Chains A and B, each alone.
Chain A
Amino acid sequence: METFLGLDYPTWWFLVVGGLFSGYAILDGFDFGAGAWHMFFRKNSSRETALKAIDPTWHGNEVWLVIGGGSLFAGFPVFYGTLFSAMYTPFILFLLFIIFRGISIKFRNMEEMLWWRKMWDWSYSISSIMLAFLLGVVLGNILNGMPLDENYEYIGRGFFEFLNPLSILVGVTSLALFMMHGAIYLLLKTEGELFNRIQQFLKFGMAFFIISYIVTTSYGFFYVDHLLTVFEENQALFVVPFLVFLSIANVPRLASKKQYGWAFVFTSLTIALLLVIVAFELYPRLLLSNSTIENSITIYNAAASTKTLKIMMGFVAVGGPLVLLYSYFVYRTFWGKVKSDFESY
Chain B
Amino acid sequence: MDVEILSRIQFAFTVAFHYIYPPLSIGIGLIMVVFESMYIRTKNKEYEVLAKFWTKIFAITFGIGVVTGIVMEFEFGTNWATYSRYVGDIFGSALAAEGIFAFALESSALGILLFGWNRVKPWVHLVATWAVFLGSMFSAVWIVIANSWQQTPAGYHIVGEGMQARAEIVDFWAMVFNPSSVDRLTHVWLGAFLAGTFLILSVHAYYIIKGRYVLLSKKAFKITLVVAAVCSLAQLFTGHQSAEGVSENQPAKLAAMEGHFEAEAPADLYLLGWVDKKNKEATGLKIPGGLSFMLDQDFETPVTGLNAFPIEDQPSQVNAVFQFYHLMVAIGMFLIAISLFGLWQWKRGKLFEKKWLLWTFVFTALLPQLANQFGWFAAEMGRQPWVVYGLLRTSDALSKSVQANQVLFSLILFFIVYFILFLLFVYLMNKKIQSGPESEIDFDQGSLNKEISEVISKK
Contact = CB atoms under 8 A, between A and B. Distances in A.
B401 A308 contact: no
Interface string B82-120: 111111111111011111110111011111101111111
Contacts of B409: 89, 92, 159
Given A74-B89, A345-B59, A69 B74 contact: yes
Contacts of A75: 88, 92, 96
B119 A342 contact: yes
Given A59-B111, A333-B120, A341-B118, A70 B166 contact: no
B396 interface: no
A102 interface: yes
A92 B410 contact: yes
A96 interface: yes
Which one of B68, B80, B104, B169 has the highest number of Cβ atoms from chain A below 10 Å of its Cβ? B104
A311 interface: yes
Contacts of B85: 77-78, 80-81
Nearest to B88: A77
A60 B168 CA distance: 31
A293 interface: no
Contacts of B66: 59, 62, 102
Contacts of B82: 81
Which one of B85, B103, B112 has the highest number of Cβ atoms from chain A below 10 Å of its Cβ? B85
B424 A103 contact: yes
A343 B117 contact: yes
A172 B385 CA distance: 44
Contacts of B112: 56, 329-330, 333
A157 B78 CA distance: 15
A103 B78 contact: no
Interface residues of B, number: 78
B107 A59 contact: yes
A308 B89 contact: yes
Nearest to B162: A151
A307 B168 CA distance: 9
B433 to A, nearest CB: 13
Interface stretch (A41-49, A180-188, A217-225, A316-324): A316-324
A196 interface: no
Which one of A76, A155, A319 has the highest number of Cβ atoms from chain B below 10 Å of its Cβ? A319
Interface residues of A, number: 72
Contact of A326 (B76, B109, B119, B406): B109
A70 B84 contact: no
A162 to B, nearest CB: 11
B406 A89 contact: yes
A106 interface: yes
A30 to B, nearest CB: 15
B63 A103 contact: yes
Contacts of A254: none
A63 B114 contact: no
Interface in A265-322: 304-305, 307-308, 311-312, 315-316, 319-320, 322
14 contacts: A55-B111, A67-B103, A70-B92, A70-B98, A75-B92, A77-B87, A81-B85, A88-B401, A92-B409, A103-B63, A153-B400, A304-B89, A312-B93, A343-B114
Shortest 10 CB-CB contacts between residues of A and residues of B? A77-B88, A84-B77, A74-B92, A81-B81, A319-B100, A85-B399, A70-B96, A326-B108, A56-B111, A67-B99
Interface of A: 55-57, 59-60, 62-63, 65-67, 69-71, 73-78, 80-89, 91-92, 94-96, 98-100, 102-103, 106-107, 110-111, 151, 153-157, 159, 304-305, 307-308, 311-312, 315-316, 319-320, 322-323, 326-327, 329-330, 333-334, 341-343, 345
